[in-house]
Amino acid sequence: MLSVLSVEIRKLNRSLALLLAALAPALIGVFVFFNLLRGREPFPWALLTQTGLAIWAFFLLPMTVTALTALVAHMEHGPRAWDHLRALPVRRRDLYAAKAICVLGLVVLMTGWTLALTWGAGWAAGCVKPEIAPAGALDVIDGLRLGGLIVLASVLMVAIQFWVALRFASFVPALAVGIGGTFFAVVAASARLGVFFPWTMAVNMLATEPWRAHAALGLGAGLGAAALLAAIAHLGWREVR
C-alpha cells in the first residue's frame, strides 16, 4: 500500500493538481486583502478567520474538489492506463485507496493554506493601512480546529465526487455532479433541511445553531467515511471500465 501511495504522490507532482491546490485558496487571500483595504475600521481576527473559511467551505471547496477529483481520475482515464494498473501484482482496492488518500490529503493542505493566506492577507492589509489592522488576538488553534471540522464534514461530498470521477471515463459526469451540487448548495444553504445536503455540510461547521453543526459533522464524517470505503470497494470490484 505504501509503494502504491508513493507512486500516486509522484504522479501528483507531475500533474496540475498541485497547481490547483495552490491557486484556489490564493483567490481567498486576494479577496480578503482587498476587501480589508476597503474598510475603515479594524476587523477582528476571529471574524477574519471565519470569513476566509466560510468562503472556502461554501463555494471554493466544492468546486475545487470537483476539479481535483477529475484531474486525479484523468491521469489514468486519459492514457487508458487502467488495464495496465489493474494487471499489476497489487490489490486493486489499494490503487483506489491511494488516490482517495491523496485527494483527502490535498483537501487538508488546501484548508490549511486557506487559513495561512487569510491570516497573511490580514497582516498585509494592516501593514498597508495600519488603521484597519485586524483587532484582538489571533487564535491559531481555534482556526485550525475549525478548519479540521470543515475537512471532516466535507468527506461525504469528497466521496461522491471521487466515485463519480473514477467510475466514468468522461469528465462530464463528475463536472455535472460538482456544478449541480454547488448550485443547489447555494439555494439550500439557509434551508432547515439544507444541513443534510452533502455540499452544505462543510459550511454548516460555521452555523450559529449547534444542532446544525453536530448533524453536518456526524453525517459528513461518519457517512462520508462509509461512502468512501464503499466507493473504493466497488471500483476495485469492477472488471470493465
Would you say residue 82 has pLDDT above 80?
A: no
CA torsion angle 154 160 162 163 (round to 10): 160
The rounded distance, in Å, linking the Cα atoms of 33 and 36 is: 5
Q: What is the mean pLDDT of the chain?
A: 86
Predicted confidence at residue 87, as pLDDT, reads 62
Would you say residue 241 has pLDDT above 50?
A: no
The rounded distance, in Å, linking the Cα atoms of 192 and 102 is: 33
Three-class SS of residue 112?
helix
141-189 pLDDT tens trace: 999 999 999 999 999 999 999 999 988 877 788 889 999 988 888 777 6
Confidence of residue 91 (pLDDT cuts 50, 70, 90): confident
Q: What is the mean pLDDT of residues 224-235?
A: 92
Predicted confidence at residue 149, as pLDDT, reads 96
DSSP state letters, 118-175: HHHHHHHHHHHSGGGPPBS---HHHHHHHHHHHHHHTHHHHHHHHHHHHH-SSSHHHH
Q: What is the mean pLDDT of residues 187-212?
A: 83
pTM of the predicted model, to two decimals?
0.89
Would you say residue 207 has pLDDT above 80?
A: yes
Q: What is the mean pLDDT of residues 215-226?
A: 94
Stretch among 14-28, 81-95, 101-115, 167-181 having the lowest mean pLDDT: 81-95
Instruction: Name the β-bridge partners of 135.
Output: 44
Would you say residue 192 has pLDDT above 90?
A: no
The rounded distance, in Å, linking the Cα atoms of 133 and 129 is: 7
65-77 pLDDT tens trace: 999 998 888 777 6
Residue spans per domain, the chain: 2-237
Three-class SS of residue 238?
coil
Q: What is the largest CA-CA distance in the chain?
A: 63
Would you say residue 240 has pLDDT above 60?
A: no
Question: How many C-beta neighbours within 10 Å does residue 74 have?
Answer: 18
Comparison of pLDDT for 15 and 61, the residue scoring more: 61
Predicted confidence at residue 28, as pLDDT, reads 95
Grid look-up 484523468 returns 74
104-138 pLDDT tens trace: 999 999 999 999 999 999 999 999 998 888 988 89
Comparison of pLDDT for 233 and 40, the residue scoring more: 233
Confidence of residue 30 (pLDDT cuts 50, 70, 90): very high
The rounded distance, in Å, linking the Cα atoms of 124 and 153 is: 31
Pure H helices in the chain: 2-13, 17-38, 45-55, 61-77, 82-86, 92-128, 140-153, 155-167, 172-188, 210-217, 224-237
Q: What is the mean pLDDT of residues 225-236?
A: 90
